[in-house]
């Protein structure tokens, strides 16, 4: 068995991979959700499958999760706790190597949602 570097809950990840591959979500760069093009980054899809869109707004009524300068950080800076999102996907790239890797794949490497789903399957160990 290959030792995988990252871990995520099995049921959540299955639902997330299905959503990434569904064609329901347009892909965007630089934020969890971009109101102009109505697109999501891959982590934004993870949030959206568990919560209505208004949960992704911050206290200024802007969409949460924008990149912070060149730090490549996505934060769920909403007034909601988003407890249905695995801890491994919360915080910024400074705190989570998995978040950093996913942001890089989505924003810098130009991976499609299908390619990101394949990367997750190859590199993330699922736990119950």
| Residue pair 79/58 in contact by the 8 Å Cβ criterion | yes
Gyration radius (Cα) of the chain, Å: 14
- The counts of H helices and E strands in the chain are 4, 5
The CB density around residue 19, as the number of other CB atoms within 10 Å, is: 20
Q: Looking at residue 72, what is its pLDDT?
A: 45
Q: What per-residue confidence (pLDDT) applies to 33?
A: 80
Beta strands in the chain (DSSP E): 6-9, 26-27, 33-34, 39-40, 124-127
With a cut of 70, which residues of the chain have pLDDT below it?
1-2, 55-81
Q: What's the pLDDT at 20?
A: 98
In tens, the pLDDT along 1-17 reads 567 899 999 999 999 99
What is the predicted pLDDT for the residue at 1? 54
Specify the pTM: 0.85
Task: Report the alpha-carbon distance of residue 37 to residue 48 in Å, rounded.
Answer: 16
């Amino acid at each position: 068995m290959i030792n995988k570097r990252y871990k995520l809950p099995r049921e959540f990840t299955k639902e997330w991979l299905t959503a990434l591959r569904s064609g329901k979500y347009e892909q965007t760069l630089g934020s969890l959700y971009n109101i102009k093009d109505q697109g999501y980054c891959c982590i934004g899809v993870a949030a959206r499958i568990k919560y209505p869109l208004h949960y992704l707004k911050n206290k200024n009524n802007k969409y949460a999760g924008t990149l912070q300068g060149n730090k490549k950080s996505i934060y769920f800076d909403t007034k909601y706790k988003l407890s249905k999102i695995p801890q491994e996907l919360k915080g910024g790239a400074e705190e989570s190597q998995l978040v950093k890797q996913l942001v890089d794949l989505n924003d810098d490497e130009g991976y499609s949602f299908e390619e990101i789903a394949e990367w997750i399957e190859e590199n993330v160990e699922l736990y119950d």
